[in-house]
Chains A and B, each alone.
Chain A
Amino acid sequence: MGKTLAEKVWESHIVHQAEGEPDLLFIDLHLVHEVTSPQAFDGLRAAGRKVRRPDLTVLTEDHNVPTIDIDKPIADLVSRAQVDALRDNAKEFGLKIFSLGDIDQGIVHVVGPQLGLSQPGMTIVCGDSHTSTHGAFGALAFGIGTSEVEHVLATQTLPLKPFKTMAITVNGKLPEGSTAKDIILAVIAKISTGGGQGYVLEYRGEAIRALSMEGRMTICNMSIEAGARAGMIAPDETTFAYLKDRQHAPQGKDWDEAVAYWKTLKTDEDTKFDAEVIIDANTLSPFVTWGTNPGQGVSINDNVPDPTSFSNENERTAAQKALEYMDLKAGMKMRDIKVDTVFLGSCTNGRIEDLRAAAAILKGKKVASTVRMMVVPGSAKVAIQAEQEGLPAIFKAAGADWRSAGCSMCLGMNPDKLTPGERSASTSNRNFEGRQGPGGRTHLVSPLVAAATAITGHLSTPDEV
């Protein structure tokens, strides 16, 4: 029997294997941000250890940073202390860091790919659950805890028990107006937020092949929202074209050698997955969430579901609680939900392609007077590219707020927050209670829906504007 992509990558990184012990895997790239790393560095210091491979480690500031006035000191003292700690640790341990104001600063999962650091067949970790993003390149990439961050810093390896594998095959062609975000929201709605637990997901099929790297990253990014630690997509010509000539991509002879290897990174024909899910892209309309977890989503053409329609008792109570928190009535049209804020950004949808798609809709139009729209590029480089393409001017003319790179309103850890009761349409990945600020209400949407919604003031699709 053949092997899956995940198994191939796993096996090529085994440093040590013994009966009754976890496998010890070598880690090719360790991404670090300010929130989950300070205790890990502290642990190293206490034990008198060094970072084993500074050359396979890179740090960036993202979660705590403000997205305006970035040339001034961070106002929140606790946040500033976390960022300062990262800078001090970079200096002490001799590590590369992208600080606020640096051209390469940005959200950790935007920075790795744009530098060409995330490549097929690698093992990539970060103390952040959305590390699954990098699986879009055919890498095995997953989030780790603080103890594990320390372990990787000290040894460049991790002891791990093997995962099971799940194939998610998306057949057909996405209709106009539907995007990668809608695919992944539909997948999560189908398999639920726990459905991927213990699995590495491999996305395959015609609709996946047709996606750009940006779209593939959006999908892999949210694998964790289905409970899976990692999601992967086999590399192909789209992957190679994206990587070619990036700063850290192989050059010359190395490039040819790398591509030859990358081409072997696919699941063998005769391989059986531990589980399999099939989705039809042909009929997929834009997806939006109505509840307080990413699995509580429906087509934007549907109504808010009636909790009593769920046969499973847990789901029923969860739906009831969610509707209360979201202040929604069962049976109302999703399209009738009015929002106060539109957030375009995050490691799910803060890439150049996302900004372009939204700008194309907003061009020459106005954001509704009842809505504030925030546009936050995923990295400083995305911001620069957007400027070269004239996108900020379009957003500003429409009345949207154009800001600097960071996690921003994806999570309530920096000044960009929802106020209690405020409702957002957000291109981020989590609609948990209070995620975007205490009491805030989040509807997860694609960049297209976000832009259209900003114009109309209620959940909308581009054909309405």
Chain B
Amino acid sequence: MEKFISHTGSVLPLRRSNVDTDQIIPAEYLKRITRHGFEDALFQAWRKDPDFILNKPEYKDATILVTGPEFGTGSSREHAVWSLMDYGFKVVLSSRFADIFRGNSGKAGLVTAEVAQDVIEKLWALSEKDPNLQVTVDLDKREVQAGDLVAPFQIDDYVRWRLMEGLDDIGLTLRHESKITEFEKTRAAYKPVTL
């Protein structure tokens, strides 16, 4: 996992609340065999509407999704996070995330930063006026900056530390690799092996 200290990019203002994981990615895509290549599945149903914001060329390079409360509710599918990341999103800003989605995001390296709803509203207004608006999400300072706007955000301490260190769960566990090796030496000889 790449280290995440700070990211600057443009915003996709998604004026919706209660975006569940079925809307992020429909079930029909779960039979796929890769972890990547889910960008075309993101918000599949909504994308059929040519006026859906994701279809607008001026927002095509957005890397920060700014959305309403209760983002990521519903099924626990890990594919929801993958599709957002595959599409190019690095950060989701919302005033409230569903627990499982937030957990899955932390595992995969997608930053979910919780800001007050009035900040969301301001970012929506600003980025609708100027699609090229550059927003910085600074994990070190726990701050969102957009022009004059500076606002704090919330993120779990442990997850923040992990993201800043660039450690996924596997990376984190591998810090104890010598302990794993030690443990392996104590594994009883009578226990089975498959090869």
A-B pairs, top 3 by smallest CB distance, nearest first, are A38-B33, A250-B190, A39-B35
Residues 182-195 of B, flagged 1 when their CB comes within 8 A of A and 0 if not, give: 01100111111111
Is the Cβ of B78 less than 8 Å from the Cβ of A146? yes
A331 within 8 A of B: no
Assembly CA distance A249 to B184 (angstroms) = 19
Closest Cβ of chain B to A116, distance in Å, is: 7
B180 within 8 A of A: yes
Closest Cβ of chain B to A14, distance in Å, is: 8
Is the Cβ of A42 less than 8 Å from the Cβ of B35? yes
> Closest residue of chain A to B1, judged by CB?
A47
Assembly CA distance A85 to B33 (angstroms) = 7
Chain A residue numbers with a CB within 8 Å of B82 are: 39
Is the Cβ of A43 less than 8 Å from the Cβ of B35? yes
Chain B residue numbers with a CB within 8 Å of A82 are: 31, 33
Interface set of A (CB-CB < 8 Å, partner B) = 15-16, 24, 26, 28-29, 38-40, 42-43, 46-47, 49, 52-58, 78, 81-82, 85, 96, 116-117, 119, 122, 145-147, 150-151, 154-157, 159, 248-250, 254-255, 257-258, 261
Question: Given A39-B34, A146-B78, A159-B169, are A15 and B192 neighbors across the interface (CB < 8 Å)?
Answer: no
Chain A residue numbers with a CB within 8 Å of B17 are: none
Is the Cβ of B31 less than 8 Å from the Cβ of A24? no
Is the Cβ of B176 less than 8 Å from the Cβ of A16? yes
Question: Given A15-B183, A156-B180, are A56 and B35 neighbors across the interface (CB < 8 Å)?
Answer: no
Assembly CA distance A255 to B189 (angstroms) = 10
Question: Given A42-B36, A122-B191, are A15 and B180 neighbors across the interface (CB < 8 Å)?
Answer: yes
B170 within 8 A of A: yes
A42-B33, A150-B170, A249-B192 given; 17 more Cβ-contact pairs under 8 Å: A24-B173, A38-B33, A38-B34, A39-B34, A46-B36, A55-B195, A57-B194, A96-B194, A122-B191, A145-B76, A147-B169, A154-B170, A155-B173, A155-B177, A155-B180, A157-B180, A250-B192
B3 within 8 A of A: no
Chain B, range 106-121, C-beta contacts under 8 Å to A: 107-108
Interface set of B (CB-CB < 8 Å, partner A) = 31-36, 76, 78, 82, 104, 107-108, 169-170, 172-174, 176-177, 179-180, 183-184, 187-195
Instruction: Jot down 30 A-B pairs with beta carbons below 8 A, ordered by A.
Output: A15-B179, A15-B183, A16-B176, A29-B192, A38-B34, A39-B34, A40-B35, A42-B34, A46-B35, A52-B180, A53-B184, A56-B193, A82-B33, A117-B192, A119-B191, A122-B191, A145-B78, A147-B78, A147-B107, A147-B108, A155-B170, A155-B173, A156-B180, A157-B180, A159-B169, A248-B194, A250-B192, A254-B189, A257-B188, A257-B189
Question: Given A15-B179, A156-B180, are A151 and B34 neighbors across the interface (CB < 8 Å)?
Answer: no
> Closest residue of chain A to B192, judged by CB?
A248
Assembly CA distance A394 to B78 (angstroms) = 46
Question: Which residue of A47, A78, A146, A255 contacts B31 across the interface (Cβ within 8 Å)?
Answer: A78
Assembly CA distance A154 to B174 (angstroms) = 9
> Closest residue of chain A to B81, judged by CB?
A147
Chain B residue numbers with a CB within 8 Å of A254 are: 189-190
Is the Cβ of A151 less than 8 Å from the Cβ of B173? yes
Assembly CA distance A202 to B26 (angstroms) = 38
> Closest residue of chain A to B30, judged by CB?
A35
